[in-house]
Amino acid sequence: MQRYADCPQVLRNFLAYHETIKNQSPKTISEYYLDLRMFLRFIKLMRSDMPIRTRLDVIPIADIDLDFIAKITTTEVFDFLSYLANDRTDNPDDRNPDYGISATSRARKLSAIKSFFKYLTVRTKQLTENPVAELEYPKLRKSLPKYLTYEQSAALLKAVSGPNQKRDYAILMLFLNCGIRRSELVGLNLTDVYEDRIRVVGKGNKERFVYFGEACRKAIEAYLPERNKKFLTDNRALFGSRDGNRISVTAVHRLVKKHLLAAGLDASQLSAHKLRHTAATMMLSGGVDVKTVQEVLGHENLNTTQIYTHIENTELKIAAEANPLSKLDFSE
């Protein structure tokens, strides 16, 4: 927790709780830290005599105590959300900065605030009043995740070429067959590969086994002899890079974009994460129940997986309307 030394003790305790007890990822802890630091800086600014245009990043919060937090009201939280929607800018030094952040970003920050006050009122009982308990999240625009069709997936795999052809082909096959995350793929070790499945370490260090089919097995088997000839700085890694290190998330992002372009697909709209969406959609299209897909993808909440059922329902509707018989009407 030394890296959060600029925070008050109560916030460091909250972060430590999520790191050690809840076992959440370093990325999640960092997001909590940044969101709550901004929130507390804003509250301190609003309560102080500092000029209203004072930049939040210069406001110290290490002196904030539990009494300060106990006095935070719902109105102050609304003021913070209004600031985010109308006045917040990530580039204040630009000549014409963009003001206001998206509803998704505001919802994430509110989620951090809600988690913080739940920790103080329910988990540790340091406070009795929760000013955000009934606060609703900003309304989000719902959009279906983009994914590749069967034909586009085939075109992508056919387009793979170059000096790392076998490695890249195996990576794409794992994405399209197993629906794993980029971070999960990067973390794969040689010992995580079995004859018909891989062992994946997902969010919160939760382990799961994901099975793959014959084509994916062949892709991995074709790559392994090439991999075994290389010595990496972390020689446990399943996939390595040109510089002899474990392949990075950034490198995976680039190679996916490269092969999408080679396949003639819109790389600006598609990514490695969209290949995960593709795997989920294809599983549901093939008749796999949503609960099983949830386990494959490693979703903690079934609601996260159910968005793919909307994709499937949309495709079924299009298929029904494409049937020439759907236009026949002799009812009158």
Catalytic residues: 181, 203, 273, 276, 299, 308
User: Longest C-alpha distance within the chain, in Å?
Assistant: 78
* Alpha-carbon span 53 to 56, nearest angstrom: 9
Q: Is the dihedral of CA 68, 70, 73, 77 positive or negative?
A: positive
Q: Is the dihedral of CA 272, 276, 277, 283 positive or negative?
A: positive
* Alpha-carbon span 234 to 189, nearest angstrom: 9
Residue 48 CB coordination number (10 Å): 10
192, 10 Cβ separation under 8 angstroms:
no
Residue 294 CB coordination number (10 Å): 19
144, 307 Cβ separation under 8 angstroms:
yes
Residue identified by tokens 């909307």 is 310
Structure-block tokens of residue 30: 């960092």
Alpha carbon of 303 to those of 159, 177, 186, 299: distances in Å?
35, 22, 26, 9
